Structure 1
């Protein structure tokens, strides 16, 4: 399979960068191909704005979704966005690699979603969820945190991963991806801030890199996270099956 990694960390020498390299090595050993987009290093502009569109439908008011639809229909999608879409269309698996900042992804990654997943192109009123544009492709989140694993869980002081990652997971499901269980590398702290001795942390993080490599290399066999599809809603969009409603 071909794997596309989107990395969202300002320092390529960070542990997030190490995780991307570990994934690339593990996947390449198994005969897969990998391409990496380092959003910070590439200078990707995450801010959706009128200046990106050379053939505006409305020269006065900027309505992002309307301009995205117009750009798709008129063949004037911004070049950097077209490149991202082409890479996604090549990929069998999408990996999002990022640190958890303020209980969510960095703004850079959110901006990548805002600009790349074009209204009227990569989703419409009917082309979404289990009938989405990327149907048949998989997506996987790899997240780092500063706090140790013991700090996370339902009601825990660090928050609940299922809750904090839900917006990204559901957005990927919205686009048609089969969403796989995430990988979390906890207790990743800079020099002088770790709750462990430096040697202990280095040893533990080496084992984390190995575990992540094994996790991403097994992506083709990982079970999908459960999400509702069109058959689970009534005409008003309300759930027909209570088990999906509870999971949502």
Structure 2
């Protein structure tokens, strides 16, 4: 199995970087290959804009989806995006490693989605969901957050992971990925801010790294998150089950 890790944290010495390293080592021990993209370290530009396209469909106005489709059809996709797509094509498993910021991913990771998953190339009106470009491939989120695990859940003050991660999960499903249950590392405190003593935290976070390594190395045994497919909707896109009810 080949695994592609997309890391989105600005500090190369962060716990997110340690998570990527733990995943790489656990996968390598089992004979898998891994490639890592550190979006910040590589200088990836997350902002979709006309300057990325050398052969514009319309130089007077920038319509991102139209320009993406034109670039795909004309063979003028930006080089950095082509490189990302090539790595995704190689991968059997995609890992997104990031901290939870304001109840969602960093803008860097959202921008990676905006630029890399090209309209007309990696999805079309029919090439999506269970007929998506990446069907047969799997994806898993690995998320860190500062608050303790006890603060999260339905109605909890920290928010519900199922709700906060749904946009990413659904976007991956939209592209055809089989989406696996996420791994959440809670209580990852910054310098000078912790609800436990330093030794206790270090020991706990070592255990988190071990658990994450086991999680990512054991993805073959993980059940997929449930999502609807084309057979579940009527012609207008509404659930058929709603009609039966």
The bucket for the TM-score relative to the shorter chain is over 0.9
- Offset, 1:190: 1.5
Give the equivalent residue in structure 2 for 1:173: 173
- Offset, 1:12: 1.1
Correspondence 1:187 to 2:187: yes
Correspondence 1:100 to 2:104: no
Structure 1: distance between partners of 2:241 and 2:186: 35
Structure 1: distance between partners of 2:115 and 2:80: 10
- Offset, 1:240: 1.1
- Offset, 1:55: 0.3
- Offset, 1:71: 0.1
| Off by >2 Å, runs of 4+ in structure 1 | none
Name the SS of the counterpart of 2:94 in structure 1.
strand
Give the equivalent residue in structure 1 for 2:116: 116
Alignment of 1:1-248 (within 5 A): 1-241=1-241
Structure 2: distance between partners of 1:199 and 1:221: 33
Structure 1: distance between partners of 2:119 and 2:194: 43
- Offset, 1:114: 0.1
Q: For 1:24-54, what per-residue CA distance to the aligned partner results, in whole angstroms no more than 9, with x for missing partners?
A: 0000000000000000000000000000000
Structure 1: distance between partners of 2:241 and 2:176: 20
Q: Where does the alignment leave 5 or more consecutive residues of structure 1 unmatched?
A: 243-248
Give the equivalent residue in structure 2 for 1:246: none
- Offset, 1:174: 0.0
- Offset, 1:241: 2.7
Structure 2: distance between partners of 1:3 and 1:32: 7
Q: For 1:161-191, what per-residue CA distance to the aligned partner results, in whole angstroms no more than 9, with x for missing partners?
A: 0000000000000000000000000000122
Structure 2: distance between partners of 1:141 and 1:14: 17
Q: Give the length in aligned residue pairs.
A: 243
TM-score normalized with structure 1 length: 0.97
- Offset, 1:226: 0.1
- Offset, 1:118: 0.1
Structure 1: distance between partners of 2:153 and 2:29: 34
Name the SS of the counterpart of 1:22 in structure 2.
helix
